[in-house]
Amino acid sequence: MKKVLIIGATSSIATACARLWAEQGNEFFLVARNNEKLEQTAADLRARGAKAVTLHNMEATDFAAHPAMLASCLGSLQQIDIALIAHGTLPDQKACEQDVGMALQEFSNNGTSVIALMTLLANQFERQHCGTLAVISSVAGDRGRPSNYLYGTAKAAVSTFCEGLRARLFKVGVHVIDIRPGFVDTPMTQGLPLPAALVAKPEQVAHRIVKGIEHKVDVLYTPGFWALIMTIIKSIPGVIFKRINI
Amino acid sequence: MSRPLYSWGCYPHAPQTAHVCSWRSEVEALRDGVVATHGSTLPYGNGRSYGDSCLAASDQVLHIPAMDRFIRVDWQQGTVQAEAGVTLAEILAIAIPQGWFLSVTPGTQFATLGGAIANDVHGKNHHLRGTFGKHVHSFGLLRHGQELLTCSPTENTELYAASIGGLGLTGVIIWAKIQLMPIRSCQIDSTVVRFDNLAGFFALSAELDHQHEYSVAWIDCLAKGAKTGRGVFIIGDHACYGSLEVDERQKLHVPLTPPVSLINNLSLRAFNEAYWRMHPATRARKWSSYEPFFYPLDRILHWNRIYGRKGFQQYQCVIPDAVAEVAMRELLAAIADSGQGSFLAVLKRCGNIISPGLLSFPLPGTSLALDFPHTADLAALFLRLDAIVHEAGGRLYPAKDAHMSGSDFRQAYPAWEQLEALRDPSLMSRFWKRVTA
């Protein structure tokens, strides 16, 4: 049985992962900012086989609340086998270009808050000498694109942070996985003009994440074909990249 | 981003725009937004209704499948309470390991809980357990301008009856609590035997139905003359010995829609002949998992695509017992004459258990269901079939229908006016508009 901490537990991808872990009879500590959604998610996981589910209300950007959350999590789980950081928002790029306050808030939602949580969790994992820290970044972090470079920047920061932290924690037997989903059919992407053929279901993405965690993959593109797409996109020279809109 | 939605038969070809409901608390605001812009809407589950009953008159639907959380399960009593978008497959996935099974299951496990109630679906055990609605303890119904109502046999009883088989028109079903039935294993002990003609079917049905939980027959809809109505009779029971495991075999996939139907007279005749001959003339027993027994077609995802871009229509009628054999003979003769039809022709005796639903389809008698690729000639054949059904006092199944006349519908379902009176004014389907106009 594993003990699983999920931050941003009511997001579609997190829920889909949690369902797979629930079937295995695992124990959960779920963190999110909406109590009603948390309770509905917990009831679902219990019905699907979760051994125990504890809930914690927290705003991810409320940095002062992070240590109390971790203390409460350890109080109920004792140790963390898997920590999944899954919270995030999809900023309105155009609005962020005109409003510095909004841009920094969005950067905090997707970047700083994740880094803060990883910093805190890293020390716990270092004490434990075991466990996996899984973080959902994005393919958007691989390249800065005019349509969403603020989001991409935050995700790139998270990915780089993951890489450094992975090298640090590897030495003590802790694994850090950087999960980079492509387009996923979730409430966050609703209404966006995405190419339907490239949009994956959260369940598909979750299967790959759960497997990736088991196999200690370092960087996981999901669905897998995004590894190929991003290899191509990353290879486009800057002089061409600045002239195209993708 | 989201692809347009269609009904299972892809006919009528009316693309639906999905408005996705993810959480129970969000449905009301979402519905009000759609209604304010487009006039009306309709809840849409997994799109397993064949005709236009799942299509909104405004072509703007509330897409329910993301509301797929379990709320409460009780493995002592065998009850499951879940959001309306949970599929029957998901219920089986958690219920089977605990020794429970759906009391009634239709021929696909990909229908949603809400859809199963709204169409009051039935299955191979109708003769023993009635329809799906018979096993619904309660559900939460969201109606325009009202608080979320709990409907059950003792609370809001009128809406309870109207919503079971109510085609999603009485309100949005948000959650439901259903009764499961205990099983000792997930395997099915089945017996198959072929029969030479329609009389053979009725003889087998009379002899075997009451002794077995499940009973159904496949028939060769193209066989003529003395062979009219020949087919394969299948009965089954939950095995006493076996395992309690969820079937997770690999699914096949029809990747794209061919420009024309792959089902034509030639392929059909060959298939039907071979299929009939493949089955034993004397009773043969089999022990198989539940999936191939209940859901053979679920193994092939998107099988509806084989009918090509024009889509297909299913014709499902039920004929009262007194005249069933005579009327079935006429129906099958008309179909064989036309040379149209499909290998998915199903004959089933329905029992006399009354559903709580106002507009429930089954009645004590025999039900015939078969698929037809959509062609220009189909309308003439359907007219002929409709006349026979009408004459025999039978009726068609709204969940499968894209053609029945308003007058036939209103005559066959006299309770339609009660449903219309209880309909949530913010909800309207293409079907309802067509048959009540």
| Mean pLDDT of all residues in B311-328 | 96
**Measured between CB atoms, does B24 come within 8 Å of chain A?**
yes
Q: pLDDT tens, B366-397?
A: 999 999 999 988 999 999 999 999 999 999 99
Chain A residues whose CB is inside 8 A of the B3 CB are 196
Residue A162 falls inside a structural domain? yes
| CA distance linking residue A17 with residue B66, whole number of Å | 15
| Mean pLDDT of all residues in B62-70 | 97
> Closest Cα partner for A68 from A80, A58, A83?
A58
B301: helix, coil or strand?
strand
Residue A86 belongs to a domain with what CATH number? 3.40.50.720
pLDDT at A26: 98
- For residue B226, the 8-state DSSP code is G
In the structure encoding, which two tokens stand for residue A87, read together?
């919270």
In chain B, domain spans: 70-183, 187-403
pLDDT at B86: 98
Helix (H) or strand (E) holding B7: none
Q: Which residues of chain A have pLDDT under 70?
A: none
Does 3.30.1310.10 match the CATH number of domain B70-183?
no
Place of tokens 């486009």: A236
In chain B, the residue whose alpha carbon lies closest to the alpha carbon of A196 is B1
> Closest Cα partner for B170 from B418, B433, B435, B436?
B418
Q: Give me the interface pTM, i.e. the ipTM.
A: 0.93
Residue A246 falls inside a structural domain? no
pLDDT at B271: 85
Quote the minimal CA–CA distance from B78 to chain A in Å: 12
| Mean pLDDT of all residues in B139-145 | 97
CATH fold of B187-403: Alpha-Beta Plaits (3.30.70)
CB contact under 8 A, A187 and B69: no
Residue A49 falls inside a structural domain? yes
pLDDT at B2: 65
* Residue span of the structural domain in which A197 resides: 3-241
pLDDT at B264: 78
Predicted confidence (pLDDT) at residue B142 exceeds the cutoff of 70: yes
pLDDT at B248: 82
Chain B residues whose CB is inside 8 A of the A40 CB are 23-24, 69, 71
Window B:78-107, CB contacts with A under 8 Å = 80, 82, 94
Instruction: Please report which confidence band the pLDDT of residue B97 belongs to, taking 50, 70 and 90 as the band edges.
Output: very high
Window A:186-215, CB contacts with B under 8 Å = 187, 189-194, 196, 199
Catalytic residue among A151, A161, A221, A226: A151
User: In chain A, how many domains are there?
Assistant: 1
**What whole-number percentage of chain B has pLDDT above 70?**
100
Q: What mean pLDDT is reported for chain A?
A: 96
Q: pLDDT tens, A97-145?
A: 999 999 999 999 999 999 999 999 999 999 999 999 999 999 999 999 9
Instruction: Please report which confidence band the pLDDT of residue B118 belongs to, taking 50, 70 and 90 as the band edges.
Output: very high
CA distances from A184 to A11, A69, A95 (A): 11, 28, 23
Predicted confidence (pLDDT) at residue B300 exceeds the cutoff of 90: no
pLDDT at B1: 45
